[in-house]
Amino acid sequence: MIRAWFFVVCLCTSDALIARQFTTVTDQLVHPWSMALVGDQQALVTERRGKLWRVDLSGNTRPVEIIGLPAIYASGQGGLFDVLPAHDFASSKRLFLSYAAGSASANATTLASARLQGNQLRDVTVLFQVSPMKSGAYHFGGRLAQLDDGTLLLTTGDGYHLMQQSQELDNHLGKLIRIHPDGSVPDDNPFVKRSDALPEIYSYGHRNPQGLTVSADGRIFLHEHGPKGGDEVNLIEPGLNYGWPAITYGVDYSGAEISPHQSLPGMQQPLLHWTPSIAPSGLCYQQQALFVGALKARKLLELSLEAGNIVAQQEIALPINERIRDVRCSPSGGLYILTDSPSGALYNLSPEG
């Protein structure tokens, strides 16, 4: 049975109070990571453990498992990450998946395409894999987006113990990657003509980005986990250096200094940073606002935008106290929210009526 709450929240940049309905779509998920809307009242939901589900957004039927996934390294923070329908999904049924592949001693964030036929994936093809592989099960990134020109964006983490690699262009760690849907490299990527750089790199100096969205006018927004403090929201421009770990507003988890610098020449400042950390995860754009989920802070935030800058932030009150892993904007003006726990749930925050 669907559980629903009716309450008043502020969900707009004008600060007007609007009645919203908060509905449980399903509470039968295990550490869900991401979701995508596919067709009328249907969604695909990933679980980090390596499961993909078709979910009826009306809540009238149980989730159905999609089979045929590639081999996934599910350990620690590693596993199945994002699912992204292609722009032409309605006709092609093509999906893109990001996930950790490999083993504890050698693993990498990977991007693959597949065709959804019924409840099975067909023609699974690896398009891109982070190089070099790393050991350990931390900091994979893994968020996906598709630009209007059809190219794909993928966030990659710094591998935690390999943080200095984020500043180097001879590897894919701590980067934003841009490729064509067939895996080839766009000619206008910023480093394609440099022999000392990998051509897939679009921006660099990132730590562990778990939020990525493209606005209606094509701006790319990315947020990333800081260490102890220094979570960031960045406006991405091709070829720019976003600083990690040379500059940061955070410190190591032990309290030790990572860098004495919060700014340096040639390195971009974030639009916004959170100290102490909120552990942001999930990001979507709607009506001149960004919506951000928070794992540690257990919050849903609205960031108001003007001319590409964040001018205000506010918490959206929710009748739950759970780690929010993903937030997705719906065409109706509402939000879908995924919570990260062994009994994770998908919620719908929609206008009343």
Q: Quote the pLDDT of residue 61.
A: 87
CA distance 169 to 204: 8
Are 66 and 56 contacting, i.e. CB atoms less than 8 angstroms apart?
A: no
Q: Quote the pLDDT of residue 15.
A: 42
CA distance 160 to 139: 6
Domains defined along the chain, listed by start: 1-31+278-353 (2.40.10)
Cα torsion for 224, 230, 233, 234, to the nearest 10°?
-90
CA distance 309 to 77: 31
Q: Quote the pLDDT of residue 17.
A: 38
Query: pLDDT tens for residues 139-198?
Result: 999 999 999 999 999 999 999 999 999 999 999 999 999 999 999 999 999 999 999 999
Given a cut of 70, the residues of the chain with pLDDT beneath it are: 1-19, 352-353
Angle at Cα 268 formed by Cα 194 and Cα 141, nearest 5°? 75
Catalytic residue selected from 31, 139, 223, 273: 139
Q: Is 139 a catalytic residue?
A: yes
Q: Quote the pLDDT of residue 3.
A: 54
The SS3 call for residue 190 is: coil
Q: Quote the pLDDT of residue 251.
A: 97
Amino acid of residue 201? I
Q: Quote the pLDDT of residue 218.
A: 96
3-state helix, strand, coil in the chain (%, to 5): 5, 50, 50
Question: What is the DSSP track for 208-231?
Answer: EEEEEEE-TTS-EEEEEE-SBS-E
Q: Which of 57, 105, 110, 104 is nearest to 80 (CA)?
A: 110
Tell me the pTM: 0.94
What's the chain's length in residues?
Answer: 353
